[in-house]
């Protein structure tokens, strides 16, 4: 079973590599949800993933502790590379306070 990514476990020189625009969007959404922002202070949700500025055939690397990005091929040796595909990115809905039956009580939401 793949483990969930927790940005707080990766302090220091880490980069997250995303190979697709969809992966990049998911990672940026996650960073926004946990309160991270770009180096200029802008929220991740208010700016595109920047995936399109990376040349075709390259992957994007997010320096998430610095709020920057770059090409995978230019990552310095001082960084530990994490791959998006090595983590579970599915949202956890187990913490919802309402059960399925409670959500559809009252007849308004019959299937």
pLDDT value at residue 101: 52
- Segments making up each domain of the chain, as ranges: 10-89
Round to whole Å and give the CA distance between 32 and 46. 9
Residue with tokens 């595909």: 85
CA distance 64 to 14: 7
Is pLDDT above 50 for 99?
no
Better-predicted residue by pLDDT, 54 or 61: 61
Return mean pLDDT, the chain.
83
State the pairing for strand pair 87-88/3-4. parallel
Poorest-pLDDT segment among 47-51, 81-85, 106-110: 106-110
Residue 98 has a pLDDT of 45
């Amino acid at each position: 079973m793949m483990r969930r990514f927790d940005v707080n476990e990766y302090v220091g020189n880490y980069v997250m590599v995303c190979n697709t625009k969809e992966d990049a969007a998911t990672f940026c959404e996650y960073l926004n949800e946990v309160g991270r922002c770009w180096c200029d202070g802008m929220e991740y949700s208010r700016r595109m993933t920047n995936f399109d500025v990376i040349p075709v055939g390259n992957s994007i690397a997010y320096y998430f502790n610095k709020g920057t990005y770059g090409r995978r091929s230019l990552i310095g040796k001082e960084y530990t590379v994490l791959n998006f595909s090595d983590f579970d990115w599915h949202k956890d809905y187990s913490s919802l306070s309402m059960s399925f039956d409670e959500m559809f009580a009252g007849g308004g939401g019959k299937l």
